[in-house]
Amino acid sequence: MTLLDPQTWTGKLFIDGWTDGGGGTAASIEPATGETLGSYGVASVEDVRRAASRAADAQKEWAARRPEERAAVLRRAGDLFEQHAEEIQDWIVRESGGIPPKAGLETHVAASECFEAAGLPTHPAGDVLATNDDRWSFARRRPVGVVSVIAPFNFPLILSVRAVAPALALGNAVLLKPDPRTAVCGGVVVVRVFQEAGLPDGLLALLPGDGEIGAAVVEAPQVGVIAFTGSTAAGRKVGESASGLLKRAHLELGGNNALVVLPGTDVAKAASAGAFGAFLHQGQICMTAGRHIVHESLYEEYVAALAEKAQHLPVGDPKSGTVALGPMIDEKQLKRVDSIVQDAVQHGARLLAGGTNDGPFYQPTVLADVALDNPAWTEEIFGPVAPVVSFSTLDEAVELVDGTDYALSVGILGDVGEAMRLADRVTSGKVHINEQTVSDEAQAPFGGFKSSGNGSRIGGAQANLESFTEIQWLTMRPDVAPYPF
Task: Pick the closest to residue 65 from 122, 127, 110 (CA basis).
Answer: 122
Active site residues: 252, 286
> Is residue 355's pLDDT more than 80?
yes
Supply the pTM of this predicted model.
Answer: 0.96
pLDDT computed for residue 70 by the predictor: 98
> Is residue 457's pLDDT more than 80?
no
pLDDT computed for residue 344 by the predictor: 98
283-301 pLDDT per residue, tens: 999 999 999 999 999 999 9
- Residue 333 pLDDT level (bands cut at 50, 70, 90): very high
371-418 pLDDT per residue, tens: 999 999 999 999 999 999 999 999 999 999 999 999 999 999 999 999
Lowest mean pLDDT among 310-319, 346-355, 460-469: 460-469
Torsion of CA 431, 435, 438, 441, to 10 degrees: -80
- Residue 458 pLDDT level (bands cut at 50, 70, 90): confident
pLDDT computed for residue 321 by the predictor: 85
190-225 pLDDT per residue, tens: 999 999 999 999 999 999 999 999 999 999 999 999
Torsion of CA 192, 196, 199, 200, to 10 degrees: 100
> Is residue 456's pLDDT more than 90?
no
59-107 pLDDT per residue, tens: 999 999 999 999 999 999 999 999 999 999 999 999 999 999 999 999 9
Lowest mean pLDDT among 15-19, 430-434, 456-460: 456-460
pLDDT computed for residue 459 by the predictor: 86
Mean pLDDT of 31-39: 97
pLDDT computed for residue 113 by the predictor: 97
What's the CATH code, domain 257-433? 3.40.309.10
Mean pLDDT of 146-165: 97
pLDDT computed for residue 346 by the predictor: 97
Q: What mean pLDDT is reported for the chain?
A: 97
- Residue 1 pLDDT level (bands cut at 50, 70, 90): confident
Domain covering 6-253+453-474: architecture: 3-Layer(aba) Sandwich (3.40)
Domains of the chain: which residue ranges? 6-253+453-474, 257-433
- Residue 257 pLDDT level (bands cut at 50, 70, 90): very high
> Is residue 455's pLDDT more than 90?
no
